Structure 1
Amino acid sequence: MLEFKETQKMTQWWLWLLLAGVVGIWVWGITQQIILGHPFGNHPMSNTGLLVSAIFPLAIVAFFYSLTLTTTVNAQGIRLHYAPLTSTQLIWDDIREAEVVRYRFVGYGIRASPTYGMVYNAKGNTGLLIHKKNGEKFLLGTQQPERLMQTVNHFISIDYTSPKVSTPSV
């Protein structure tokens, strides 16, 4: 059975550099105060407070590491799972039109856009723009636009309500 499945993670070097810098501040503080015995800052925390406060930046790093955008296209429709945040299923009968689009930077993660509706993106600037029959729009970021459109076209051509599907000439 034909199926498209793509899993994406946030792998932008600048994001991980920023996160490493934030964690680095705590590592430096813990090294200075607890290991070397020099107070960290003008009004240092207790050693326990410093260790407990390090949980916050480590939790942020763990959260970004866990973010995974999985798009699955099969006979049931298009399933989007943005772990650990949300999951949604679009059935073929609800889709009016779908097209691959290239867009300017709209940010990463999940957000509302006046142009694209709900945007689910982990990286890049290419996505599947879905127009639902009720007027809602969804933009699903993809790194495999040709394969994604090929699979969408396959399922639309079987016996669904035949929404318009197009691939832009980019």
Structure 2
Amino acid sequence: MKAVFKEEQRFSQWWLWLILIGIGALPIIAIYQQIFNAPKLGDSPISALGLIVFSLFIFGLIALFWFMRLKTNIDQNEIRMSFFPFVKKQVNWKDVKSAQLVNYGFVGGWGLRLGTKYGTVYNTKGNRGLAIELLNGKKFLIGTQKETELREILAKIKK
């Protein structure tokens, strides 16, 4: 069945990317200092292997934020959510005890949050989301930037 609600989110906050780019400059500076024998920070510069591992970690972290996506698709039959590269969920409406839009406040940051009163929270920004409780007692929350549209779709599905 065709999705009646579709949303794709990513980490697009300017301040986050400013921080990540600043962190990304660290291995570039260290590589420059190693290769060109520039004055080093401190008395014992990092080894070549250490520099490679450090650089891979930093650039891997930046790549992770670049590729992370929160996709939500909701139709008459199910809720499908993917928080790439971590998790993919598919829940049939018949397994849902309750689903409601909530203001979840600040749950300790954005991304994947475990152990909140909403269960596992998947979000990229903001403080609004679809809180879902399943018949088996499990809970999770999917963040949204399209609260009005999602509210309308939920009303149609509940009918």
TM range (shorter): 0.7 to 0.9
Partners of 2:92 and 2:115 lie apart in 1 by 22
Structure 1 position 120, deviation (Å): 0.8
* Structure-2 residue corresponding to 1:109: 111
Partners of 2:13 and 2:7 lie apart in 1 by 18
Residue by residue over 1:31-63, the C-alpha shift from the partner in whole angstroms, topping out at 9 and shown as x without a partner, is: 233246444542123456534531110011001
Partners of 1:100 and 1:45 lie apart in 2 by 50
**Tell me, what secondary structure is at the counterpart of 2:140?**
strand
Q: 1:23 to 1:70 in 2, by over 3 A?
A: same
Partners of 1:87 and 1:38 lie apart in 2 by 48
Bigger drift between 27-36 and 67-76 goes to: 27-36
* Structure-1 residue corresponding to 2:17: 16
Structure 1 position 126, deviation (Å): 0.5
Structure 1 position 112, deviation (Å): 2.1
* Structure-2 residue corresponding to 1:126: 128
Bigger drift between 83-92 and 32-41 goes to: 32-41
Structure 1 position 65, deviation (Å): 1.0
Structure 1 position 82, deviation (Å): 0.4
Structure 2: segments with no counterpart, 5+ residues: none
Structure 1 position 145, deviation (Å): 0.9
Partners of 1:100 and 1:115 lie apart in 2 by 14
Residue by residue over 1:94-140, the C-alpha shift from the partner in whole angstroms, topping out at 9 and shown as x without a partner, is: 11221111121112111223421111111111001112222222111
TM-score with structure 2 setting the length: 0.87
* Structure-2 residue corresponding to 1:6: 7
TM-score with structure 1 setting the length: 0.81
Partners of 2:98 and 2:28 lie apart in 1 by 50
Matched, 1:63 2:64: yes
* Structure-2 residue corresponding to 1:148: 150
Q: 1:146 to 1:30 in 2, by over 3 A?
A: same
Contact 2:3 2:73 in 1 (8 A): no
Contact 2:5 2:74 in 1 (8 A): yes
Name the Cα RMSD after superposition.
Answer: 2.0
* Number of residue pairs aligned between Structure 1 and Structure 2: 157
Aligned-residue identity in percent: 39
Contact 1:34 1:47 in 2 (8 A): no
**Tell me, what secondary structure is at the counterpart of 2:148?**
helix
* Structure-2 residue corresponding to 1:77: 78
Contact 2:96 2:135 in 1 (8 A): yes
Contact 1:116 1:137 in 2 (8 A): yes
* Structure-2 residue corresponding to 1:161: none
Q: 1:43 to 1:103 in 2, by over 3 A?
A: same
Find runs of 4+ consecutive structure 1 residues off by over 6 angstroms: none
